[in-house]
Structure 1
Amino acid sequence: MKRLLSLAFLVLLCTCVSAQKDLTLNLTDASITRSAALQRINDGLPVRIFFQEDQLPTGPIALDLKDATMREALDAILKNTVLDFIDYRDRVYVIGPAITIGTEFDAAYYAAVAERIEEAEPAPETRRGAANDGPAYIGTLESLGTDGMATLKGQITDQNTGETFIGATVQVENSTTATVTDTDGNYELKLRPGSYTLVVSYVGFGANRREVKVNGSGDYNIALGSSATNLQEIVVTETAADANVDRVQAGVQRIDMAQLEKLPTFMGETDVVKALLLNPGVSSIGEGASGFNVRGGEIDQNLLLMDNGALINSSHALGFFSTYNADLIKSVDLYKANIPARFGGRLASVLDVQMRDGNFDHFRVKAGVGPVTGKVMLEGPIVKEKSSFIFGARSSYANWAIQLASVPEVKASSAFFFDGNLRLTQRFGEKSTLILQGYGSQDEFTYNNTFAFDYQTMMGQASWKQIFSDKLYGDLSVVYNDYTSSQSDLRTLTAEQVDNGIRYLTIKPTINYEANEKLSVEAGLDINQYFVNPGERTRASEESLATESSLEEEQGMEASLYASADFEISERFSVSGGFRFTNYRFLGPGTEFQYEDGIPARGRITDSIRFGAGELIEAYNAFQPRVSARFRLTGKASIRAGYSRTAQFLNQIFVSDSPTPSSQYQLSTGYIPPFLSHNFSIGYFLNLEDNNVELGAEVYGRQIDQLWDYRDFAEVIVNPSLETEILIGEGRAYGLELSGKRKVGVLNGLVSYTYSRTERQIPGINNGNYYNSNFDKPHNFVATINWNPNKRNTLTANFTYGTGRPVTAPVGNYRVENGLFVPVYSNRNEVRIPDYHRLDLAYTLGKGYNKTKTFQTSWTVSLYNVYGRKNAFSVFYTQAPDQTNVANRLAVLGTVFPAITFNIETR
């Protein structure tokens, strides 16, 4: 597992190694600098000390060390500083900032160190321990594998002590072929017969070269001699520093989890979905709206994953908080339209959220308390190094904050949510892993004692991961999800409750094969069985005049076969491509109505056909090719382009301004076809300042050759002939995305601008002309600036601007015979509500430097909507006494919301 790891120190390595034990030293000086003291120890004892001189305070100190151990001496020298040290290896000590020096090292760290060592090392003929006495001859032709490759194995050791080295790098010179030694110091390389120079690197031992003549498979052990070198600062991250220009997949954004907690948030709750809105091409219609829109797509056109489980709803409290618990997340990737072949079932994007395993070594606890939410996370080993658990839970107590809203109806409302995650990981040897995890959530919302929502999710997953060889591995996942929701009318005479929901079972086997360093292949199946409750209406009181009705459960099966390959054609040109073939079946039991002329319309039902359980009602096939390509113009710039064909067989039904938690889901039927789309993008990407500054410009287009929208005044709730409320047509979306990011530095942050249009053309709406979709927002601008005077303190400002979304509004009225005035409406989505803009501020006091403390604390103070902008969620119209139409703005949040969040965790 790769992790974000920063070490902000340069390393100076000095002199010799000794086999003696229990070294002691004497050092008395009333006025000596820390640098001079460390250098004196380096010169006088057989030890090596790594330190960066400019990190040490320059003032003199007094030392009186008599028969002191190395630990006692270093503690005295570093006293009253923010520095600490680790006893890295026998007689090797590393000094650096306490906040990072205790971080667990991994193979990625050693590989980065080795790279810096090689850059700093002198020429081979002057390098200590690098001399060769001629090439070593390995193996015979008879020992070659059936693929013509030789397996070179060996162990890396210290020539003085015989100690094996974990994380030493063995690389073929002038090649990308490399490996890292395991916990026993062993390495293994696959090579074709020939002559090679192996460069073996390990921190403190320089880059040692060994000439080998490989005839076949064999063993080659290497003993390293020490070498002094001065290293540059080393930063290891979970993605490559040049990923912005080197990435092959088009239209993908990765969320920086390290920066997530520093962003200004509503009521102090860290939110993955809100962080997505900082990226170009991603927007929402405002506070109180669930989900998000990608490149003009609708809310339900995003596939929301928690590992391999698809979430039906991504929001708590009607969009104010995210479903995802940030403390449990390993990585977040958003694929915008150009979607890899392993994902499917949605038109616009995939949000791939991977959850992390619990700690296999020690227990850890983290808790946070904010103004309206509280959370706790526990993780640790069940059997050390073999099995682990991680548990996280969150709950809200938000009702007091609702009273701060500017709208009286909102003040008379209430909201509550709870969610919990549990993940168990069991290792079976080094090649097999079983993961069991569960997720549950509950939301309750009441508005002004007028209506209420109640919705919940219960999801379980099991995943088996298997490594078959160094080149072949795979996994098998099984997911079950049950999402239920209800909407209640609380008024006495109309009191009713409408229930709906969706259940699904997913089985997804995947296999991955890495043929060589330039070619990798992935293939698998993705089978989903859906069970949809389209609606059930019941009276909520005896006085209610509501009519009870219910619809029969619908079933559908979506089975997909997919395959893809990543191929590096040259150092400059790489391609990632594949296909996804989907067979979808709409299954009985169910009833299909027949219509005059075969066209669904109100009042034109002529007959019906009854289908039995499991009987095929309708079937669709969809072939969906996917391809992305990257061409590096220079080491700092590249062009990236992509195309994907996507299909969606499950859609959300809603006719309000925004989907609600109780909006029903509709499977594709014989009358309601699936959505089909072609997606294109091409962009230019540039890195500056040694990959610290990332710039991008991307143009995209989407041609939707099959979609549907609703008739005017459509009735969709518990409607047995829903197809009569739907019209079939096509759509298009296009836009430009500009972005800039500075990753590190005292001042860093990102800026993005998106120009986006999304339109539809459907016979029967707007006279058959193109009209704006519900989520068409041409301009969207986001700027986030971080000021980091040091590692503990961060001040963040976030500004957001977006064009108001389109609505259909009355533009006049006329009088009828009885004297009433009837409004005359504009064309579909022809009018826009006011533009949206907001400024947020946050200050974060991070964890302290003292690594000896059992508990670490951090604080975040934030101001959401600093200047109290009354952003319109929607605009509704009433008639004035003179019968004119009056526009009324509904602003869910019309004031500034301060928040203080306190976090505490154990090491």
Structure 2
Amino acid sequence: MKITVFPILLILLLALPVAGQDAGPTITLQSESIGRVAALQQMDRYTPLRIFWQDTQVKDEPLRLSLQQATPREALEAILEGTGLSFIAYRDVYVIGPATTIGTEFDAAYYAAVAEQVDADAEEAGARGPETIGSFATLGATGMATVSGTVTDDDGEPVIGATLRVTGTEQATTTDTEGNYTLRLAPGTYELLIGYVGYGRQERGIRVQGDGRFDIALLPSATDLQQVVVTEQAADANVGRVQAGVQRLDLAQLERLPTFMGESDVVKALLLNPGVSTIGEGATGFNVRGGEIDQNLLLQDYGILLNSSHALGFFSTYNADLLKSVDLYKANMPARFGGRLASVLDVQQRDGNFDHLRVKAGLGPVTGRVMLEGPIVKDRSSFIAGVRSSYTGWVLRLASQENVKNSSAFFVDGNLRLTQRIGETGTLSVSGYGSEDQFTYNNAFGFRYRTLLGQSEYNHIFSDRFYGRLGVAYSDYQSRQTDLGTTTAEILDNGVAYLIVKPHLTYEVSDDLQLSGGLELDHYRVNPGERQPGGEESLVSPRQLPEEQGVELSFFGEADYRVSERFSVIAGLRYTNYRFLGAATVTEYTDGIPRSGNETGTREYGAGETVAAYQSLQPRLSARYRVGRSGSVRAGYARTAQFLNQIYLSASPTPSSQFQLSTGYIPPFLSHNVSLGYFLNLNNNNVELGVEGYARLIDQLWDYRDFADVIVNPQLETEIRIGEGCAYGLELSGKKKVGEINGLVSYTLSRTERQVAGINGGDYYSSNFDKPHNFVLTFNWNPNQRNTLTANFTYGTGRPITAPVGNYRVDNGLLVPVYTARNSLRIPDYHRLDLAYTLGKGYNQKRTVQTSWTVSLYNVYARKNAFSVYYTQSADQTNVANRLAVLGTVFPAITLNIETR
């Protein structure tokens, strides 16, 4: 082999010594004939990199190489071409092995030995000297220093639950949901041990002189080269969690779920959980434990979203690429949340990458999305932005039915979040969200609605045990419904604008007791309805209701106390003072008889004057008792109140359903919520089982009288009847988290009923969202890391309806239908099978651009599930039932996902 001039031809240009990434030394190599082993030896000798391989695996064949300023990765790929070998990076080394086992079935002993040697060499060389933190001038009278910071992964994302321990002391802590930590130390030099699943144990030397910040970026560990599962919560969270009725969504699984037209959907993923259901395609929102759709508090950080869906329920409002966490509290909500009866969907957005630019995009048959994030000032400020849009026109034009061809649907939404670190202990985030939807059906009617949301959040660490946050949000939601007829053409507008201010403090009294509290101010301005004629030939009379406003002022406090190793409680209290404010003109009625037709006069209220006031004291309690090492019993209670509701008579709210504040005649909804469950983990926390019973006593609600007129009605109170209700059920769930075959199964047995004077003869009747049986099965087959086949089956009882069962003719010849009792019949049961195949990212996790594909089939056996059943009269004047199926066929989709690192 002619290698005498090899050291001259191998020119090393050291750029950025970032281990294991493409940024680093560049290599120029020209050789007509060099042995493969010799090339590897020269790279190992003449570069700051280290190359490890087994002699039995690398065949020493002559090569012809021509590399011009190649990265180490490109050089290794050229040297190993055609050998069936590949490599992975660990710190500043490259480890070579068979390509068929890279990332799946490594020779664990060999690679662990390599990693151990690298770690030992780095320690011996003093690769990480102690870093000085703070100055002696910042020390207080106690002589102790506060060291705080953020632990991030190699992508700059916060690491939740990382452990930090100071050797030689009893000081230890874990990172919170933002990846932040705080330690109190005396001045001196310490070794800081950081541990996290998938990153091994890493040591950092620090020299503490005073208060200061020490951010830690973890590098992946290669000491265990078999499958590593990184979760957003503790492995035993199913049994260890104290808060009752909470479900955390696994964001990593979203792209693998079968979805309509290939778009990852947060709301659809929630439907896999017990107690969560929907009445079918075309319904906006979701129902939790029998609650109505508008009884869910939908949060995006501090902002409230009044519509959770795009395109009439087919796509979620939330952009999954920008989210940090999604938690659903089913009735048993913490004291910091309020204003809704049934649930809280707490969605938190993540900060942008503080280290490097990153792009992620997806392209499907009817939707596309792109996300961009990166630093503004490295390690100090960042941004993250995302845009999604639909392009459904070409799909609708392919339809065989004219009414579908003459329809259109479109949505677009965008998010932008800016984050600035202020000093060593503060973080300020400012974000904005905007969306718009347009839908027209057969040139007959349509909807148009938009949301604008702006908010800011400031987090501050006062000490290692005391921290706080302040959130401010403002939103404006406007909707329009258009009837495109001739004489009946009309335009109906309504909307809600609100301002939220919410400071929140947390103090850790000890390792066993944490106290938190704050206040929340919600100011609503509601346009209850404005009707206009839709054209010159329209006979519709214009009408506009005056703007309404209301204020909720709430104070809340909570204590999280670990009584013993087995028993923990979270006790909270929320007090709300609600006021419905003028200016307003209020109609007065005679007491004790139906209001309609019994008006006695009106009363005027000035601007800002209190028209009606309500107070609500809402205790909250969750308790958990550990049974053995792998089981627990969990119980919860929550009193909830709701002062803002949607008004609608259809099966579910439409985007243009009007909003109604509580008034002197229209009281708030009030309920007691209780739950009790047993939870068990098996197989080293890989299998999660649960059974939970719940009950909700709604001691104050209202419903509409028969044939009510609620659209732009200035006396809406005449169409409403006051009553009570109940919901109760049993939830069963099972989940296998990892393995070649994994998945989940859930079943909910439930009833939701109400009793309202003047409706159904005063007897109990089913609510619109009563679904006694709801079953979900999700099956995943993962033969290897890249390939996933998912099947999802859903079954649910048909929702209740009121239907005509006969007719009678009056004297003037008019035919009048005879209806059943309220909600005494049901539409056909709902069931659907979906399939998806995902070809995931490649095994080379350091590749700059990574791609993945998802192919899905929605509604595999083309079930014509009924969204509703409506009745028409036949020629012989009998009532004929007609099934309305929003989707009656299979929908295939293929989505390409692109991501840069």
Q: Does 1:431 align with 2:414?
A: no
Give the unaligned 5+ runs of structure 1. 1-28, 103-115, 121-127, 130-143, 155-166, 181-185, 192-196, 209-216, 219-227
Offset of 1:304 from its aligned partner?
A: 0.3
1:383–1:202 Cα change, 3 Å: closer
* Cα pair 2:742 2:780 within 8 Å, conserved: yes
| Cα distance in structure 2, aligned partners of 1:662 and 1:739 | 36
1:550–1:327 Cα change, 3 Å: same
Match of 1:884 among 865, 878, 886: 878
| Cα distance in structure 1, aligned partners of 2:449 and 2:835 | 32
Give the counterpart letter for 2:165 in structure 1: V
Match of 1:85 among 65, 85, 88: 88
The equivalent of 1:565 in structure 2 is: 559
Q: Does 1:623 align with 2:617?
A: yes
1:58–1:606 Cα change, 3 Å: farther
After TM superposition, list the pairs within 5 Å mapping 1:776-787 onto structure 2. 776-787=770-781
Match of 1:543 among 530, 537, 540: 537
RMSD: 4.2
> Deviations 1:694-718 (Å, cap 9, x if unpaired)?
1111100000000000000000011
Match of 1:310 among 304, 312, 322: 304
After TM superposition, list the pairs within 5 Å mapping 1:120-139 onto structure 2. none
Offset of 1:597 from its aligned partner?
A: 1.7
After TM superposition, list the pairs within 5 Å mapping 1:376-525 onto structure 2. 376-402=370-396, 409-525=403-519
| Cα distance in structure 2, aligned partners of 1:819 and 1:229 | 85
* Cα pair 1:640 1:684 within 8 Å, conserved: yes
The equivalent of 1:812 in structure 2 is: 806
The equivalent of 1:338 in structure 2 is: 332
The equivalent of 1:257 in structure 2 is: 251
Offset of 1:882 from its aligned partner?
A: 2.4
* Cα pair 1:85 1:93 within 8 Å, conserved: yes
Match of 2:165 among 170, 179, 192: 170
| Cα distance in structure 2, aligned partners of 1:254 and 1:726 | 37
| Cα distance in structure 2, aligned partners of 1:783 and 1:650 | 35
TM normalised by structure 2 equals 0.81
* Cα pair 1:179 1:189 within 8 Å, conserved: no
> Deviations 1:640-679 (Å, cap 9, x if unpaired)?
1100000000000001111100000000000000000100
Which stretch has the larger CA shift, 461-470 or 587-596? 461-470
Which stretch has the larger CA shift, 448-457 or 719-728? 448-457
* Cα pair 2:855 2:892 within 8 Å, conserved: yes
1:190–1:341 Cα change, 3 Å: farther
* Cα pair 1:171 1:178 within 8 Å, conserved: no
The equivalent of 1:553 in structure 2 is: 547
| Cα distance in structure 1, aligned partners of 2:821 and 2:435 | 40
Q: Does 1:527 align with 2:530?
A: no
| Cα distance in structure 1, aligned partners of 2:202 and 2:362 | 46
Match of 1:282 among 252, 276, 282: 276
* Cα pair 1:512 1:523 within 8 Å, conserved: yes
| Cα distance in structure 1, aligned partners of 2:402 and 2:462 | 63
Offset of 1:849 from its aligned partner?
A: 2.6
Offset of 1:540 from its aligned partner?
A: 1.3
The equivalent of 1:722 in structure 2 is: 716
Offset of 1:168 from its aligned partner?
A: 8.9
* Percent identity for Structure 1 against Structure 2: 65
The equivalent of 1:840 in structure 2 is: 834
Q: Does 1:373 align with 2:379?
A: no
The equivalent of 2:108 in structure 1 is: none
The equivalent of 1:689 in structure 2 is: 683
1:263–1:609 Cα change, 3 Å: same
Q: Does 1:606 align with 2:606?
A: no
> Deviations 1:238-273 (Å, cap 9, x if unpaired)?
210111110011101111111000100001111100
Offset of 1:95 from its aligned partner?
A: 7.7
After TM superposition, list the pairs within 5 Å mapping 1:61-76 onto structure 2. 61-62=59-60
| Cα distance in structure 2, aligned partners of 1:187 and 1:770 | 55
Offset of 1:568 from its aligned partner?
A: 1.0
Offset of 1:236 from its aligned partner?
A: 3.6
| Cα distance in structure 1, aligned partners of 2:853 and 2:222 | 40
| Cα distance in structure 2, aligned partners of 1:339 and 1:587 | 28
1:372–1:541 Cα change, 3 Å: same
After TM superposition, list the pairs within 5 Å mapping 1:182-221 onto structure 2. 188=183
| Cα distance in structure 2, aligned partners of 1:59 and 1:630 | 54
Offset of 1:421 from its aligned partner?
A: 0.6
Match of 2:858 among 827, 849, 864: 864
1:777 is paired with a residue whose SS is coil
| Cα distance in structure 1, aligned partners of 2:146 and 2:897 | 49
Match of 2:286 among 276, 283, 292: 292
1:300 is paired with a residue whose SS is helix
Offset of 1:737 from its aligned partner?
A: 0.6
Q: Does 1:669 align with 2:663?
A: yes
* Cα pair 2:765 2:823 within 8 Å, conserved: yes
| Cα distance in structure 2, aligned partners of 1:864 and 1:880 | 35
| Cα distance in structure 1, aligned partners of 2:100 and 2:538 | 64
1:652 is paired with a residue whose SS is strand
* Cα pair 1:699 1:736 within 8 Å, conserved: yes
Offset of 1:905 from its aligned partner?
A: 2.1
Offset of 1:381 from its aligned partner?
A: 1.1
1:697 is paired with a residue whose SS is strand
| Cα distance in structure 1, aligned partners of 2:98 and 2:752 | 50
Q: Does 1:764 align with 2:758?
A: yes
> Deviations 1:20-74 (Å, cap 9, x if unpaired)?
xxxxxxxxx9999xxxx99xx99x9xx99999x9xx9996644799xxxx97998
Match of 2:232 among 238, 244, 248: 238
1:261 is paired with a residue whose SS is helix
Offset of 1:187 from its aligned partner?
A: 9.4
Q: Does 1:850 align with 2:844?
A: yes
* Cα pair 2:806 2:818 within 8 Å, conserved: yes
| Cα distance in structure 1, aligned partners of 2:894 and 2:146 | 57
After TM superposition, list the pairs within 5 Å mapping 1:318-357 onto structure 2. 318-357=312-351
* Cα pair 1:406 1:894 within 8 Å, conserved: no
* Cα pair 2:173 2:183 within 8 Å, conserved: no
Give the counterpart letter for 2:467 in structure 1: Y
| Cα distance in structure 2, aligned partners of 1:761 and 1:805 | 18
Offset of 1:399 from its aligned partner?
A: 2.8
1:96–1:344 Cα change, 3 Å: farther
1:570–1:407 Cα change, 3 Å: farther
Give the counterpart letter for 1:803 in structure 2: T
Offset of 1:899 from its aligned partner?
A: 0.6
Give the unaligned 5+ runs of structure 2. 1-33, 64-70, 104-111, 117-122, 125-138, 149-161, 176-180, 204-209, 212-220
* Cα pair 2:77 2:86 within 8 Å, conserved: no
Offset of 1:856 from its aligned partner?
A: 1.7
Give the counterpart letter for 1:254 in structure 2: R
| Cα distance in structure 2, aligned partners of 1:530 and 1:57 | 73
The equivalent of 1:645 in structure 2 is: 639
